[in-house]
Structure 1
Amino acid sequence: MKIIVLGSAAGGGFPQWNCNCRNCAGLRTGTINASARTQSSIAVSSDGLHWVLINASPDILAQIRATPVLQPARARRDSGIVAVMLMDAQIDHVTGLLMLREGKPLPLYCTASVWDDLNTSLPLAPVLSHYCGVRWRALEVAQEGPAMMPVSVPGLNGIRFTPLSLESKAPPYSPHRERPGVGDNIGLLIEDLEHGKSVFYAPGLGVVEPHVEAAMRGADCLLVDGTFWSEDEMIEQELSTKRAADMGHLPQSGAGGMIAVLDSLDAHPDAPAKPRRKILIHINNTNPILDDDSEQRAILRRHGIELAFDGMEIRL
């Protein structure tokens, strides 16, 4: 199994077009050691020719241009993308669908609640019906978190995707925003059945519930929420009045934060520690870990935690 990180930033990318925080201003002026990032998305393949795009960010055209394997050029018009799978209906994860309108009808895998949002609150599906159109394929998420309902995608031999319900936030325009339900947000356990390897992917993760922890513990690689360093990051920088939890994200620092969660996976009394890669993705432009020379980035290194970057390749 091969995974390419097409984009590693949170909504708005890095630098964000209108932001002059320390990170964004520092990247533009060259006063911090950092790299630009587009909005988060990954591509998954078993053969390097056929790919499932997981989330379609507003930066998708630039991401395709930067990833030649997604354009194999086997015909006058062609794409290596055989399907798109969505984690939620957030604007930075779905609006790239509009950029794929010139292609064939697009197989689109998402939950019923996300599909409802894409037909009502953010009606991309009706708009696309006038162009390529989309063929909805339902991702079933059990009402009880631990139950597993895996799916396979035609064209991606030997890869199985299992959606897991997450406690997070639906988009601000969704009627589920303050009444979250099963399927508004999912994580994905992605398994290579031939080689017995797996990745757990969750760019938006607010709470690590027991069934999520179990999936993380069994995975060989974790690609998880790296949005904020601290709970009050946006408030302290006077950029918002919302905490990380208000936006459905688990910060890295503090008691019960992502660093502590990832450390705990290697110290479980009932299961031996297994070697696994731990990678943060969906990093907000305000997060100090974007500065390679920051104290916070050094802390991640000491804990064996990597930072995703655009173009990063993961092979399992």
Structure 2
Amino acid sequence: MEIRVLGSAAGGGFPQWNSNVGLNRALHEGATRAPARTQSSIAVRGTGDDWLLINASPDIREQILATPALRPAPNSRGTGIGAVLLMDSQIDHTAGLTLLREGAPLEVYCTRQAHEDLTTGWPLFNVLSHYCGANWHEVVPGQAFTLDCLPGVSLRAVALSSAAPPYSPHRQAPEPGDNIGLILTDEDSGRCVFYAPGLGDIDAALADEMAACDVLLVDGTFFTETEMIDQGVGKKTAASMGHLPQSGEAGMLAWLGRWPDKRRVLIHINNTNPILDPDSEPRAVVEQAGVEVAYDGMEITP
């Protein structure tokens, strides 16, 4: 099994197009070694040639062009993407489907809750029906499944605690399946990866799931709970947005510290997060904990 990080930033990317604050400004002015990042997405390949795209970010065109394996063969029209799996129905994880409308019908895997959002409040499936079309396949948390385009890999979704997007019909009544984590297992080696770019809470059951995996590729959105408030760019806390910050006694680094024998990587990093700066103290804290910071183009082999 091979995993490629297509995009490692949270919604808006880094730098965010309308921000001249903090690291965004430093990057514009060439005052930081932090590299630019596109919005969060990964691609997975098993023993075949095709790839499973996990989340279709608004930056998917740029990501495909930067990843030769996802491009069509010479003198043909097509793609190396065999199917798309959505972790939720958030705009920054689904809007890229509109950029894939010029190809063959899309094979899209997501939960019933995400599909409901994508046919009502954010009706992408309805829009795509006028172009390439999208065939929906339901992902049921807790049930293992395989994909024809991903031979040699088995998958199992895990329901996570999180709020549905603002446009969801059940925004005020969260349901299991609004947001999922994903366990990908290499059937030959038995090694597995836990992927969760949006993770707001870790309970005992989820901790057991994570403890059984070899690689943890998890939510790195914020370093502190009040990061956006402190920088004057928002009014919401990390928890209210469905993210577990790295710092704090019950933060992501504290949890990841329980599993020093695993490869631990942070992804979906917001443009306000100081760990983007390789010379910052928070980045040093992360690295001293033995945790990596994902970057666009990163390759992970369990």
The structure 2 residue matched to 1:301, chosen from 276, 279, 287, is: 287
- Residue of structure 1 aligned with 2:206, choices 190, 208, 212: 212
Extract unaligned runs of 5+ from structure 2.
none
1:287 and 2:273 correspond: yes
- Note if contact 1:229-1:288 (Cα within 8 Å) is conserved in structure 2: yes
Residue identity in the other structure for 1:125: F
Q: Identity of aligned pairs, percent?
A: 55
1:218-252 superposed Cα distances (whole Å, 9 cap, x missing partner): 11111100000000001111111110000000000
CA distance in 1, matches of 2:299, 2:80: 17
Structure 1 position 241 matched with structure 2 position 235: yes
Instruction: For residue 261 of structure 1, give the secondary structure of its aligned residue in structure 2.
Output: helix
Give the letter for the 1:215 counterpart: E
- Residues 180-226 of structure 1: per-residue CA shift (max 9 Å, x gap): 10110000001111111111000000001222211211111111000
Structure 2 distance, partners of 1:154, 1:207, is 32
Considering only aligned residues, what root-mean-square deviation do their CA atoms show, in Å?
1.1
**Where in structure 2 are the equivalents of 1:111-190 lying within 5 Å?**
111-141=111-141, 148-190=142-184
Asked whether the equivalents of residues 4 and 44 of structure 1 are also in contact (C-alpha less than 8 Å), the reply is yes
Residues 43 and 52, structure 1, Cα contact 8 Å, conserved in 2: yes
For residue 158 of structure 1, what is the amino acid of its counterpart? G
Equivalence map 1:7-156=2 (5 Å): 7-47=7-47, 49-73=49-73, 76-141=76-141, 148-156=142-150
Counterpart-to-counterpart distance in 2, 1:102 and 1:91: 20
C-alpha separation in 2, matches of 1:176 and 1:295: 40
| Cα distance in 1 for residues equivalent to 2:203 and 2:173 | 18
SS of structure 1 residue aligned to 2:13 = coil
Query: What SS class does the counterpart of residue 264 from structure 1 fall into?
Result: coil
Q: How far apart in 2 are the matches of 1:298 and 1:213?
A: 25
CA contact (8 A) 1:109 1:136 kept: yes
**Aligned-pair distance for 1:75?**
6.1
Given that 1:34 and 1:291 are in contact with CA atoms closer than 8 Å, whether structure 2 keeps it comes out as yes
TM-score under structure 2 length normalisation = 0.98
Give the ranges of 4+ consecutive aligned residues of structure 1 lying more than 2 Å apart after TM superposition.
175-178
- Normalising by structure 1, report the TM-score: 0.94
CA drift of 1:175 comes to: 2.3
Question: How far apart in 1 are the matches of 2:78 and 2:47?
Answer: 17
Name the counterpart of 1:226.
Answer: 220
Structure 1 stretches of 5 or more lacking a match?
Answer: 142-147, 267-274
Q: Secondary structure at the match of 1:107?
A: strand
Counterpart residue identity of residue 290, structure 1? L
C-alpha distance in 1 between matches for 2:203 and 2:100: 35
